[in-house]
């Protein structure tokens, strides 16, 4: 009998399994799909032969848990970093790079933002209150902010309509995957504080298929420690089983272990739990988690077309795609190739009625808005991936619904980007949740260890304000205003 059974072979499940295997435990990872990696998985395109991901992803330099996992697996050097700029925005007449200046955070990004076309000084000054709130945001503040939409919060804070249209509607879509009017103010401010609070925060991209960074490497670690990893192995039910729950597989086989870690998304977990468990929290809220769907296009051209490896379109009512990645500028060994462009249509309800050919044509047209060479290039091959969930939508009330790792059912532990990690729903949150769930198992076995790495204190002015807010709260001061 394994020490722990992990349902789900995505990042959260594999991170938990590696942590436990490294500490001498035997685990069984059960993945219903044919490959590991979940929403951060990869496979080989059958026409081009290229390794592609479900959709393109970024990491950033403050992903402390994910980078530690990659270090453990020997693949950290396979991240292609761009420290010279944070992002390039698709503005006329060409992409506008946004990077850090020598000013202390959160001021380091302001010189770049001041170059934004169409914005005036008073628009920039109207960012003061949201930035101040993000700087001193503590977990104790999340509940009150989670009760209002980010759009309402921005307007109540005096942010100008021009700045809302130019920046915040864009930011909500690309970093929270939901429109500003639906987004939790708490979720958006959490991310704003993180992205603006570190002196040299920058993005990176997998120089190989995303799943190639960790999936098979993690499976080797688990198997070497005496555990097992099964793909094509669906969990049909999690049931009470004496002093600990058990899992029932699709073929009726029942497996027992001292601990069951569910690394399933909310809707999948809901489908395998007993009805009586779902009458109480945290399980009663599982059906309220709303998936944010997306559509990812992969476009193979006959020539180079993009001026940079990564460009983001700004928000507009008719916009389909936001992020564009030229993998020929990112992937190891692809240097000198014609462009292979990957894109994301985020919160993709607006294209569900379109066929693949229509989506491809619209995507090429949007790419040509900032990369005119795409209009003259020949499209050699294209793929459209329709993904039911990028992340759970961080809508109003989302943060308060996120469950703790430990549940009221003895032996049942939750992992996934959507559990309460204090982070937005990202790959980093998934890995951190895996570490937290491993901590729970070890503590129950009388071997407590700290595995999860919390975000470090912000830099510069952001750090000073956060420390002051924490000290004030510790002295008995009330919630921040």
Q: Which of 218, 219, 226 is nearest to 2 (CA)?
A: 226
Residues 206 and 300 in one domain: yes
d(CA 142, CA 119): 30
What is the per-residue pLDDT across 454-480, written as a single tens digit (0 to 9) for each? Answer: 999 999 999 999 999 999 988 766 544
Bridge partner list, 470 = none
Residue 277 lies in a domain: yes
| Strand 96-98, strand 87-90: pairing | antiparallel
Quote the pLDDT of residue 475. 75
d(CA 179, CA 176): 8
Q: Would you say residue 231 has pLDDT above 90?
A: yes
Residue 145 lies in a domain: yes
What is the per-residue pLDDT across 336-348, written as a single tens digit (0 to 9) for each? Answer: 999 999 999 999 9
State what percent of residues in the chain have pLDDT above 90: 94
Return the H-helix or E-strand segment holding 111. Answer: helix 110-113
Do the beta carbons of residue 105 and residue 462 sit within 8 Å? Answer: yes
Do the beta carbons of residue 311 and residue 88 sit within 8 Å? Answer: yes
> pTM of this prediction?
0.96
* DSSP-assigned states of every residue in 147-207: TSBHHHHHHHTT--HHHIIIIIHHHIIIIISS-TTTBBHHHHHHHHHHHHSSTT--EEEES
- Segments forming the whole domain that contains residue 381: 41-99+202-210+291-392
Please list, in sequence order, all residues whose beta carbon lies within 8 angstroms of the beta carbon of residue 397, skipping any fewer than 6 positions away: 146, 147, 184
What's the whole-number mean pLDDT along residues 82-91? 91
Say which CATH number the domain at 328 has.
3.90.660.20
d(CA 432, CA 439): 11
Residues 402 and 277 in one domain: yes
Instruction: Kindly report the backbone phi and psi dihedral angles of residue 275, in degrees, each rounded to the nearest multiple of 5, phi listed first.
Output: -60, -35
Do the beta carbons of residue 223 and residue 17 sit within 8 Å? Answer: no
Residues 326 and 271 in one domain: no
Confidence of residue 82 (pLDDT cuts 50, 70, 90): very high
Residues 329 and 428 in one domain: no
Residues 266 and 383 in one domain: no
Helices 427-444 and 64-73 cross at an angle (nearest 10°) of: 80
Please list, in sequence order, all residues whose beta carbon lies within 8 angstroms of the beta carbon of residue 30, skipping any fewer than 6 positions away: 5, 6, 7, 8, 9, 230, 233, 234, 235, 247, 249
- Which of 413, 428, 444 finishes a domain? 444
Mean of per-residue pLDDT scores for the chain = 95
d(CA 180, CA 168): 7
Residue 463 lies in a domain: no
Radius of gyration of the chain (CA): 22
Q: Is 174 exposed, middle or buried (0-12, 13-18, 19+ CB in 10 A)?
A: middle
Residue 468 lies in a domain: no
Quote the pLDDT of residue 84. 86
Residues 64 and 164 in one domain: no
d(CA 192, CA 188): 6
d(CA 307, CA 123): 29
- Which of 147, 170, 199 finishes a domain? 199
Quote the pLDDT of residue 481. 37
- Which of 171, 199, 227 finishes a domain? 199
Residues 405 and 276 in one domain: yes
Residues 30 and 111 in one domain: no
Q: Give the C-alpha distances (Å, rounded to integers) separating 326 from 43, 286, 305, 442, 467.
A: 18, 37, 8, 43, 40
Quote the pLDDT of residue 476. 65
d(CA 283, CA 412): 12
With DSSP H G I counted as helix, E B as strand and the rest as coil, what are the percentages for the chain, rounded to 5?
Answer: 40, 20, 40
d(CA 223, CA 184): 41
Count of structural domains within the chain? 3
Please list, in sequence order, all residues whose beta carbon lies within 8 angstroms of the beta carbon of residue 390, skipping any fewer than 6 positions away: 39, 55, 177, 291, 292, 293, 294, 346
Residue 265 lies in a domain: yes
What is the per-residue pLDDT across 392-446, written as a single tens digit (0 to 9) for each? Answer: 999 999 999 999 999 999 999 999 999 999 999 999 999 999 999 999 999 999 9
Quote the pLDDT of residue 243. 74
Residue 10 lies in a domain: yes
Do the beta carbons of residue 136 and residue 465 sit within 8 Å? Answer: yes
Say which CATH number the domain at 245 has.
3.50.50.60
Residues 231 and 280 in one domain: yes
What's the whole-number mean pLDDT along residues 290-301? 97
What is the per-residue pLDDT across 138-162, written as a single tens digit (0 to 9) for each? Answer: 999 999 999 999 999 999 999 999 9
Residues 191 and 317 in one domain: no
Residues 347 and 307 in one domain: yes
Residues 179 and 307 in one domain: no
Residue 296 lies in a domain: yes
Do the beta carbons of residue 63 and residue 427 sit within 8 Å? Answer: yes
Bridge partner list, 205 = 80
Residue 460 lies in a domain: no
What is the per-residue pLDDT across 9-47, written as a single tens digit (0 to 9) for each? Answer: 999 999 999 999 999 999 999 999 999 999 999 999 999
């Amino acid at each position: 009998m394994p020490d722990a059974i992990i349902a789900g072979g995505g990042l959260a499940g594999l991170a938990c399994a590696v942590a436990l295997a490294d500490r001498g435990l035997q685990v069984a990872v059960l993945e219903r799909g044919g490959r590991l990696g979940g929403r951060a998985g990869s496979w080989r395109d059958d026409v081009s032969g290229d390794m592609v991901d479900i959709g393109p992803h970024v990491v950033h330099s403050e992903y402390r848990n994910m980078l530690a996992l990659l270090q453990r697996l020997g693949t950290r050097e396979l991240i292609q970093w761009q420290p010279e700029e944070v992002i390039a925005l698709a503005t006329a007449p060409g992409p506008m790079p946004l990077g850090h200046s020598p000013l202390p955070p959160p001021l380091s990004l302001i010189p770049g933002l001041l170059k934004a076309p169409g914005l005036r000084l008073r628009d920039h000054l109207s960012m003061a209150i949201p930035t101040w709130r993000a700087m001193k945001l503590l977990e104790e503040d999340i509940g009150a902010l989670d009760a209002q939409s980010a759009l309402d919060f921005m307007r109540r804070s005096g942010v100008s309509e021009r700045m809302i249209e130019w920046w915040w509607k864009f930011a909500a879509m690309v970093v929270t995957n939901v429109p500003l009017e639906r987004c939790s103010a708490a979720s958006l401010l959490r991310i704003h504080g993180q992205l603006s609070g570190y002196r040299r925060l920058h993005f990176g991209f997998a120089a190989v298929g995303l799943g190639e960074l960790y999936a098979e490497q993690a499976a080797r670690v688990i198997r070497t420690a005496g555990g097992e990893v099964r793909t094509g192995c669906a969990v049909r039910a999690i049931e009470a089983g004496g002093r600990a729950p058990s899992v029932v597989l699709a073929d009726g086989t029942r497996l027992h272990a001292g601990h069951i870690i569910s690394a399933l998304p909310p809707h999948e977990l809901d489908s395998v739990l007993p009805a009586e468990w779902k009458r109480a929290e945290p399980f009663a809220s599982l059906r309220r988690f709303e998936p944010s769907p997306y559509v990812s296009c992969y476009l193979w051209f006959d020539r180079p077309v993009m001026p940079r490896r990564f460009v983001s379109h700004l928000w507009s009512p008719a916009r389909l795609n936001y992020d564009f990645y030229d993998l020929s500028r990112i992937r190891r060994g692809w240097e000198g190739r014609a462009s292979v462009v990957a894109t994301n249509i985020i919160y993709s309800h607006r294209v569900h009625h379109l066929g693949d050919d229509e989506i491809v044509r619209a995507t090429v047209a949007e790419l040509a808005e900032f990369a005119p060479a795409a209009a003259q290039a020949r499209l050699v091959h294209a793929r459209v991936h329709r993904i039911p969930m990028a992340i759970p939508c961080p809508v109003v009330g989302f943060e308060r619904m996120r469950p703790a790792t430990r549940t009221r059912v003895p032996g049942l532990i939750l992992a996934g980007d959507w559990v309460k990690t204090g982070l937005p729903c990202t790959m980093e949150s998934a890995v951190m949740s895996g570490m937290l769930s491993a901590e729970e198992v070890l503590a129950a076995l009388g071997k407590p260890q700290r595995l999860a790495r919390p975000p470090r204190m912000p830099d510069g002015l952001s750090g000073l304000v956060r420390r002051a807010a924490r000290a004030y709260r510790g002295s008995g001061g009330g919630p921040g205003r």
